[in-house]
Amino acid sequence: MKVSKWFFVIMIVSFLKPQISFGVSEISQEFLKFAKKSEVFDWMVGVRRKIHENPELGYQEFETSKVIREELDKLGISYKHPIAVTGVVGFLGSGEPPFVALRADMDALSIQEMVEWKHKSKVPGKMHACGHDGHVTMLLGAAKILKSHSHLLKGTVVLVFQPAEEGGGGAKQVVDSGSLENVKAIFGLHVFPQPPLGQVFSKSGAILAGSGVFEAVITGKGGHAAIPHHSIDPILAASNVVVSLQHLVSRETDPLDSQVVTVAKFHGGGAFNVIPDSVTIGGTFRAFSKQSFMQLKQRIEEVIVGQASVHRCNASVTFGSKDKPFFPATINHEGLHKFFQEIAGDVLGVDNVKEMLPLTGAEDFSFYQEIIPGDFSCKVPWSNSGFGETSTC
């Protein structure tokens, strides 16, 4: 918990710096002091635990959204709701440009919390395993600090509480709602459990991969397993498809252009002596540029269809869906990234601001960056719950 106050202080100092006439260090120190007050710190601990105990999945964050709106009401911050089903977009400051957005995601995951502690998830099979409970709390903390210093603001801070980051592309829905039209820059972050407390990691340019999902149905002809020559075996065909897909990265891709193809799903058959009619496979693919991503997509389809036909099977391939859109790569704006580094160094000390290697995880923050310059960074651990590997993280 200790660390969370730094994060939102960095976020808000980032915003204030160009707008004010006196030293950033002074502001940083003032905000840090303010954040340590029990009315801020203990309040944040309470909010985070409340959200942690009541995790909600993407586009179902109704109670979380209510908690956010209640807190914004108490702070006297106006907001728009609903944005993208459960989302809340708050505004504070002068109401004039520049508009700068800070974003937090709200959704939890379909994972059972295994850690026994006082504030464990009360919902079986759901938990905040990816720390979004912390993100919401940090943005509320930033709102509280900014509100108490609103006389310093010469612009408008847009607080974006977005639904459904975990594969649902909530960010895209927020963008499509048009509520960020005037926004000139956007900052986001993700908590991260591995590094020591008090450190932040980020980089200029591509930081997280673009991500897509695929599914294929490979159809043969079922029959008795003892007389395979009367069947067309989709299990063997699908097995060869899986192996051939591995060649896309190992043989067709520049080793210096990182990409991933993973088959994570393989369903077929139900008896030890029956060859099934069909097999369904599915997986994810990742790349850091749009060109590599589209090339991979095309070749995945060709390999599945071609390899299935070698084994006399037919294959149909589908990519993404409305609730699982392609996520673009997360690419940080160079200027905003430098700016973030400077401010973070001022708050945390320059030694605690680290250069990050790109990760093949994905983030729907990238949808904002398609229309607004943005900077995304990763912060040190925070959640008691650990880090959940998910469909998109």
Q: Detail the residues annotated as belonging to a binding site.
A: 130, 132, 166, 190
Q: Which of 4, 86, 204, 219 is the binder for ligand NAG (CB under 6 A)?
A: 219
State the nearest-atom distance from the C-beta of 275 to ligand NAG, in Å: 12
Do 243 and 194 form a contact (C-beta atoms < 8 A)? no
Output the smallest distance, CB 299 to ligand NAG, in A.
22
Please report how close the Cβ of residue 232 comes to ligand NAG at its closest, in angstroms: 5
Q: Which stretch binds ligand NAG (CB under 6 A): 133-141, 216-224, 290-298, 351-359?
A: 216-224
- Closer of 49 and 221 to ligand NAG (Cβ): 221
Identify the DSSP state of 349.
-
Residue 280 binds to ligand NAG (criterion: CB under 6 A): no
One residue of 147, 154, 184, 221 binding ligand NAG per CB under 6 A: 221
Residues 231-270 that bind ligand NAG (CB under 6 A): 232
What would the two tokens of residue 393 be?
A: 């993280």
Q: Give the dihedral of Cα atoms 123, 124, 126, 129; nearest 10 deg.
A: 100
User: Which H/E stretch holds residue 48?
Assistant: helix 38-53
- Identity of the residue, 171 or 232, whose beta carbon is nearer to ligand NAG in the bound complex: 232
Q: Is 313 in the site for ligand NAG (CB under 6 A)?
A: yes
CA 257 to mean position of chain CA atoms: 22
Please report how close the Cβ of residue 87 comes to ligand NAG at its closest, in angstroms: 45
Residue 389 neighbours by CB distance under 10 Å = 11
Residue nearest ligand NAG, Cβ-based: 314
Q: SS3 for 245? A: helix
Helix %, strand %, coil % for the chain, to 5? 40, 25, 35
Q: Which is nearer to ligand NAG, 162 or 307 (CB)?
A: 307
Q: Which residues pair with 376 in a beta bridge?
A: 188
Nearer to ligand NAG, 58 or 220 (CB): 220
Q: Closest approach of Cβ 274 to ligand NAG, in Å?
A: 16
220 binds ligand NAG, rule: CB under 6 A: yes
Judged by CB under 6 A, the residue of 19, 110, 240, 314 near ligand NAG is 314
Residues 315-344, interacting with ligand NAG (CB under 6 A): none
Asked whether the bond before 98 is cis by omega within 30 degrees of 0, the reply is yes
- Which sign does the torsion angle of CA 183, 185, 191, 192 carry? positive
Please state, in angstroms and as integers, the Cα–Cα distance from residue 366 to each residue in 63, 94, 183, 329, following that order.
Answer: 26, 28, 15, 6
Distance CA 35, CA 142 (A): 9
Q: Which is nearer to ligand NAG, 219 or 239 (CB)?
A: 219
User: With binding defined as CB under 6 A, does residue 217 bind ligand NAG?
Assistant: no
Cα–Cα distance for residue pair 250/7, rounded to 1 Å: 39
* Cα 139 versus chain centre, distance: 15
Stretch that binds ligand NAG, among 1-9, 113-121, 208-216, 217-225 (CB under 6 A): 217-225
Interacting residues with ligand NAG (CB under 6 A)? 219-221, 232, 313-314
